[in-house]
Amino acid sequence: MLFKFCHTTDALAGQSYWATVGGGVKTNETFQQAACRELLEETGLSINDVGPCIATRSFEMQLPSAETVIADEHFFAVFIENNDIKMDSWTKHEKSVIKQYQWWHLNELKNTPETVFPNNIPHILSDYFPHLFKG
């Protein structure tokens, strides 16, 4: 599941892209704990633990505030039974930039002309879960 971000008034104005659920890690919080918290905050889906870390990346990025930071991202496999997304806990900023969410099939991700972050997500998924994406 990916969110579509469309920035219109912040430092990223004019940028539009799809990205995973995510956010910052709080003090004394593990990446796994942050993933569970962010999943709850951004989707309303509550889980006790995430699956394995299936990818990481570090890169310099500009925030909507115009601040430049080094992002250290960890991607986890999360399997859920309930896909009823709730946006009740979204911040004012999230409500202004997240325009939609979508569940994607691997072939859709491979063939979309739209910008998706991380841009290698089809490879991450097919490499880690080859049994799910045969044929």
pLDDT of residue 9: 92
Question: Position of tokens 């859709």?
Answer: 108
pLDDT of residue 83: 84
Burial 69-107 (b: 16+ CB within 10 A, else e): eeeeebbbebeeeeeeeeeeebeeeeeebbeebeebeee
Cβ(18)–Cβ(117) below 8 Å: yes
Low-confidence ranges of the chain (pLDDT < 50): none
CATH 3.40.50.2300 fits 2-128, yes or no: no
- Please give the model's pTM, rounded to 2 decimal places: 0.91
Which tens digit of pLDDT belongs to each residue from 65-101?
999 999 999 999 888 888 889 998 899 999 999 999 9
